Amino acid sequence: MENTQTQNPITKESIYAALKDVYDPEIPVSIVDLGLVYDVKIIDDWVGVKMTLTSQGCGLSTQIANNVRERVAALPGVADADVRIVWQPVWNPSMMSEEAKKKVHFAG
């Protein structure tokens, strides 16, 4: 049996790091720092990302989901990536990282 552990393993940390480069086009903050990424699943060479958006009426939802899919699929070892947008729990500004809150001047 071949040892596949010799290549770079796909980890949640590497996925989240890659997603730090994906920004909401309307807010100059990464989707990770905004708290939009709810979960990452890794099954062999497949990665699934469960995320939300800042509002259900976001006209850029397809663009953001495509950016996430492309960014994850470009990682070494990833053969396929899926993005699932969910609306529960509903996103709110308290989900942002402290860094993001400072960037958008959110005091809450």
- The pLDDT of residue 107: 59
**What are the angstrom distances between the C-alpha of 107 and each of 33, 41, 45, 103?**
15, 32, 40, 11
The per-residue pLDDT for range 78-88, each reduced to its tens digit, is 999 999 999 99
Q: What topology is assigned to 9-93 in CATH?
A: GMP Synthetase; Chain A, domain 3 (3.30.300)
- The pLDDT of residue 69: 98
pTM tops 0.85:
yes
**Domain residue ranges in the chain:** 9-93
